[in-house]
Structure 1
Amino acid sequence: MRFRPIAFLSCVLLLSVAPGRAVSAAQSPEPRLRAGAATSNITPALGGDIVGGWAPMTATDVHDELHARCLVLDDGQGRLAIVVVDSLGVPRHVVDRARALATAHTGIPAERILVSATHTHSATSALGQRWSPAEYEQAPALDPYQDFLATRIADGIRRAVANLRPAQIAWGRGALPDEVFNRRWHMKPGPHMRNPFGGTDRVQMNPPIGSPDLIEPAGPTDPEIAVLAVRGVDGHPIAVLANYSLHYVGGVPQGHVSADYFGVFARVLARMLGEDRADSTFVPMLSNGTSGDINNVDLRGGQPKLPPYERMTRVATRVAAEVSQALPHLTWRDHVSLASTQRVLTLRRRPITPELRAWAREALARPADAARHPRERIYAERVEGSSAAPATLDVVLQAHRIGDLAITTFPFEVFAEIGLEIKARTPFGQTFTTSLANGSEGYLPTEPQHALGGYETWLGTNRVQLDAARMMTDALLAMLAELKAQASASPVTR
C-alpha cells in the first residue's frame, strides 16, 4: 500500500512534458527517436551448478525466474541495444555468439550491442565447464545452457526491435549512500592477514563484523544511481535502465535460483509505476556499476539479521523508490543522437613463475586437512590451471553515447574508484560504467589496491597485469573524447 502514492504521482508526471519542451515532430525534420524493449526468460533446468560461493552447489529450486532484459534505441541513423542478464557472468565467447545471432537477424552491429551480467550469486552458471585458460582461448563449443542463453539474448534483442515505436528519452541520477559499503578494510597486524600464498596482506576482504582489528575502509564507495528512462509518446513507460555500484545482496537459501536484488528491483519498480499488470510491456532493468569492492554489509556492525530474501527486498525497494522519485524531474527528449565505439585491448596475463608453480605443487601435495590457509588448495589449483594459459588476453571495451549521456563498459568486476575517476573526467554531462560487460574476466583492482593485497588481488581472482585498470581507464577516456568530438559535429546531440 505504501507504494501507491508514488505510483500515482509518477504515472501522472510521466504523462506530462518537461516545461519549455514540445514533443511535436513537426517542429524538426530530424528523425524521431524510436525505442523498443523485451525480456527473455533464461532460467535453466534444475540440477545445474550455482557458482556464487567457494564451491558449486546444485540448483534445487527456483525462487524467481532469471531474465535477459533488452532495450533497443533507434535515432533514425542507427540502433543501440542494451541487454542486462541475470547471471554471475557471461563469458565473451557466449556474448559473441549472442551478438552474432542478433546482428544476423536485426542488422545491429556487434559494437552497438552491450551485454552485461548483473553478478547475482544465485544463478546457475553460464561459465560452462571448468575450461583451462588455454582451452578457453580456443573458443570452446557452447554447452547446452550457454547455447540456450546466447539464443535467448538474441531473441530478446530481436523482439525489442519488433517493438520499436516513437518514443521519448530522459536521463538523470539519484543517490543511495547508506546501502553501499567498501568491503576491503585496513586491519591491525596479525595471523588473520595471511594470504593463501604464504605472504601477508595489508587489507582484508569481508573481515568479521565488528572485529576489534578494523581500522578503516581501503577505498571509497559510489552512491549514485544513474537513470535512463524511455517512454512512448502516449506517456506510458517503455523501459527504465538504472545502474548502481552494489555487488549482489544475497540472503538466498542453499540451492535456490534467484536474480537477487536486481530482479526484485524490476518487480518493485513496475509496481511503483503501475506497470505490474499481466499485459504490461514495460521493462525495468538494473545493471551492475563499479562494485568490485562494494557490498551491502556494514562491517562495523549494527545491521539486523534478516530472514531469506528480506534484505535484498529492502535494498531493491529503496533503489526503486529513488529511481521512481527521480523520473518526474527528468527532461524528456523526442530527438537524440546515438553513437558507439569499441576497442579490443590486449592485456598481459599475470605470469606463473617457477616459484609460484613450486608453491602450488607443494600445497596440492599436502593433505587437505594440513593446509596452511583455508583457501590454499583452491588457489593452488587455480595457479596450476593457469600455467598453460596464453601470455595475453584480449578484452572488449565499449563506449556508447545517448545524447549527452555516456556509458562505458569493462568485462571485469571493477573497483568503485575506477568508475568514480571516469565520472570525474568524462567530457559528457553524465556518464556511468557497466561492469561484467561483454565478458567475465575476474576482478579489476587499481595498482595501489594491488599493493595492499587482499582477496580481489590474489592471482586466480585477478588474472591480468597490475596496471590493467589504468590501461583500460585511459582507453575508455580516449574513446569518450572521440565520441564527444563526433557529437560536436552532429546536428542532434541533445
Structure 2
Amino acid sequence: MASRLLSALFLATISLHAGDFRVGAARVDITPKDGTPLGGYYRFRGSAGVLDPLYAKTIVMEKDGVHAAIVVLDLSGTVRPIVAAARKAIQEQCGIEGDHVLISGTHTHTGPQQPRESMMDDITKVNSPAGLSYTSSLPGWIADSVKQAKARLAPVKASAAIGRAEGISFNRRILREGQKEAIWQPQKLTPQDRPAGPVDPDVGVLVFDAGDKPVASLLNFAMHPTSVGGGVKISADYPGVFTRLVSERHGAEMISVFANGCCGNINHNDYVNGKRRSTLELGTALADAVDAAWPQLKPVETFAPRIRSEQVTLTRRSFTEAQIAKAKDMAANMLTKNFGTVPMAETVCILETLDKKDKPLLAEVQVIAISDEVAIVALPGEIFVELGLALKKASPFKHTFIAELANGSIGYVPNQEAWPQGNYEIVSARCEAGSGEKLVEVALKLLGEVKKR
C-alpha cells in the first residue's frame, strides 16, 4: 500500500511539471586559502587576503526530462582535465549528461591558477601542495553547485534583451601609422594611432522568473577582468561587482551569472585619455546597462534544451630553428629572471608546442538552445572580438550568448587579419592562423542544427 502511494505521488509530481520549462540556480563559494597560486600573469603570486569571494555559479534548465547546466567559475579559465572530472561527478551525482554541461571561467586575473601542463606550471607553482589542494577540490565544488541548482528546479518564464555599455571597453591592440606590428596595451595613444579592431558593446540579458520573482539571470559582455591589477588579494574583479549589483537591484534572491564574451583583445584601458576605470566603476556601468535594458525584456517561448557539441582538431603552430633555440635559451633563466610578458609568453608557447607536437590540439565547441530566439555558444579559448561579432551576426538566433574559456582553453584565438600584426596575443597563440574562423564555422553549423530540429 505504501509503495503504491509513493508511486502515485511520484507520478503526480511528474504530471505536475510535465511540459514546464524549469530552472534552478545556485552558487558555491570557491574562495581559496592564503598561499594558493594565482593565475593571469607570468610569475608566481601566492594569494594573501580576500577583496571579495569567488563562486561557482550554476543555472540548471530542464524540460521534458532534458537537462542542461551552465556553470561559470570566478577563475582565469578552465582546463580539460578539471572539466572532465566535474562532468563525470555531475553525471554520477545529478544524472545530467556530461556533454549537457557547460563550464566556463570569467577570466579574473586575481583567482587561482589551474594546471596547463606546460612550464607555466613551474612559473606559477600550481603543482605546489597549496595549488594541488585547490585544483583537486574544484570538480567537487562544481558538482555541488549543479546539485544544489537542480534541487531548486521550478517552473519559470524566460525573457531576454540586449543592453549597451558604451565607452568602457577598448581594443587593446593599436596600429600606428608606418608601423606593421600592432602595439599592445600602450599607455596612451598618439595622433598617429588607431585601434586595430572593434569592441562589442552589447550586454546580453536573459532572465528566468518564477511567478513575479526572478530566480536567475545570465549576463554576457566581452571584456578582460584585469581592473584589480596584479596584486595577491583574491577578487572576482568587475564580474563580481556586476552580478552583485544586478541581483541587489532586481531580486535579492536571484543568482546572477556572468559569462565573458569574446574578449581576447579587449580590456578596460581607455588609451585615448590614458585612464583606467576602477572595478567598482566597471561593474556599476554594466549594471546600469542592465537597468536600462530591463524594461525592454521580451518573453521568449522556451523548449526542452537542445544541446550539440563537437570536438574540433586544430593544427598547432610551427616554429623556426632560430625561434626554438632562442626559447630554450630564455627558458633556462625564466624561473629566476623576468624577461617581460611578451618574450616570456612566446617562450612558453614555443616550448609547450614542442612538448605536445604529437598530441592533437582539441577544441570543444558547444551550443545550448532553449528557444527559437536564445542560444548559448561555448568556445574554448581567449577569442578575438571580431570572431564573436561575426558569430553573432551570422547566428540564426536573435539572442546569441557567447561564453569563452569554456570547457577547456587552447589559449589565444586571433582572427585571420590580426596574425600579420604580431605582438602578445599572436606570439602566445597555440593554434595556427585560421583556427578562429574554423571554430566560428563549426559553431554556426551547430546553431543551425539546433534551430532546425
In the superposition, the TM-score normalised over structure 1's length comes to 0.81
Residues 364, 71 of structure 1: CA spacing in aligned structure 2 closer, same or farther, 3 A cutoff? closer
Matched, 1:422 2:422: no
Q: Is the 8 A contact 1:32 1:334 kept in 2?
A: no
Larger mean CA deviation between 120-129 and 237-246 belongs to 120-129
Query: Are residue 164 (structure 1) and residue 153 (structure 2) matched?
Result: yes
Query: Per the alignment, in what secondary structure is the counterpart of residue 178 of structure 1?
Result: coil
Give the C-alpha shift of residue 121 in structure 1. Answer: 0.5
Q: 1:430-457: CA deviations, max 9, x gaps?
A: 2121110101221110121011112100
Partner of 1:186: 175
- Structure 2: distance between partners of 1:230 and 1:254: 36
- Alpha-carbon spacing, 1:130–1:298, altered in 2? closer, same or farther (3 Å): same
Structure 1 portions without partners, runs of 5+: 1-27, 134-141, 191-200, 487-494
Q: Deviations over 1:217-264 (max 9, x none)?
A: 11111100011101112x111111100011114134721100001111
Q: Say whether the 8 Å CA contact 2:307–2:369 is kept in structure 1.
A: yes
Which residue number corresponds to residue 222 of structure 1?
Answer: 200
Deviation of 1:143 (Å): 3.0
1:97 deviates by 0.7
* 2:182 aligned residue (179, 203, 216): 203
TM-score normalised by the chain length of structure 2: 0.88
Partner of 1:175: 164
Contact 2:361 2:410 in 1 (8 A): no
The residue type equivalent to 2:389 in the other structure is: L
| Range with bigger deviation, 373-382 or 112-121 | 373-382
What displacement does 1:99 show?
A: 1.0
The CA distance in 1 between the partners of 2:337 and 2:114, in whole Å, is 33
Cα pair 1:288 1:434 within 8 Å, conserved = yes
SS at match of 1:58: coil
Structure 2 partner of 1:393: 361
Deviations 1:370-428 (A, max 9, x none): 99977435533542343221342111110111102111111111111101111111112
1:262 pairs with 2:229:
no
Letter in 1 for 2:208: V
Instruction: Compute the displacement of 1:170 (Å).
Output: 1.0
Name the SS for the 1:432 alignment partner. Answer: strand
Residue identity opposite 1:80 in structure 2: A
Partner of 1:80: 68
Partner letter of residue 220 of structure 1? P
| 2:269 partner SS | coil
AA of the residue aligned to 2:247 = A
The 2-side partners of 1:164 and 1:479 are apart by 27
Q: How far apart, in 1, do the equivalents of 2:66 and 2:99 lie? A: 12
Q: CA RMSD in A?
A: 2.7
> Structure 1's 384 and 99: CA in aligned 2 closer, same or farther, altered over 3 A?
same
Once the 2 structures are TM-superposed, how far is the Cα of residue 350 of structure 1 from its aligned partner?
1.0
Within a 5 Å distance, the mapping from 1:97-246 to structure 2 comes to 97-127=85-115, 130=118, 143-188=132-177, 202-211=181-190, 214-233=192-211, 235-246=212-223
Given candidates 315, 318, 322, the residue that maps to 1:348 is 315
Q: How does 1:288-299 map to 2 (within 5 A)?
A: 288-299=260-271
Equivalences, count: 428
The one of 445, 450, 453 equivalent to 1:483 is 450
Change (3 A) 1:409 1:216: same
1:340/1:95 CA distance change after superposition, 3 Å:
same
Q: Is the 8 A contact 2:26 2:255 kept in 1?
A: yes
How far did 1:429 drift?
A: 2.0
> 1:173-194 deviations in whole A, cap 9, x for unaligned?
111121111110002457xxxx
1:13 corresponds in structure 2 to none
Note the C-alpha offset of 1:208. 2.1
How big is the shift at 1:366? 8.5
Task: Indicate which of 36, 53, 76 corresponds to 1:65.
Answer: 53
SS of the equivalent of 2:299 reads: coil
Consecutive aligned runs of 4 or more in structure 1 exceeding 6 Å deviation: 365-374
Do the aligned partners of 2:238 and 2:282 also contact (CA within 8 Å) in 1? yes
Query: Alpha-carbon deviation of 1:356?
Result: 2.2
Supply the distance in 1 between the matched residues of 2:444 and 2:197 (Cα, whole angstroms): 22
Match of 2:30 in 1: 42
Does the Cα contact within 8 Å between 1:222 and 1:416 map onto a contact in 2? Answer: yes
Q: What are the residue-to-residue correspondences of 1:431-442 with 2, within 5 Å?
A: 431-442=400-411
Task: State the identity as a percent.
Answer: 29
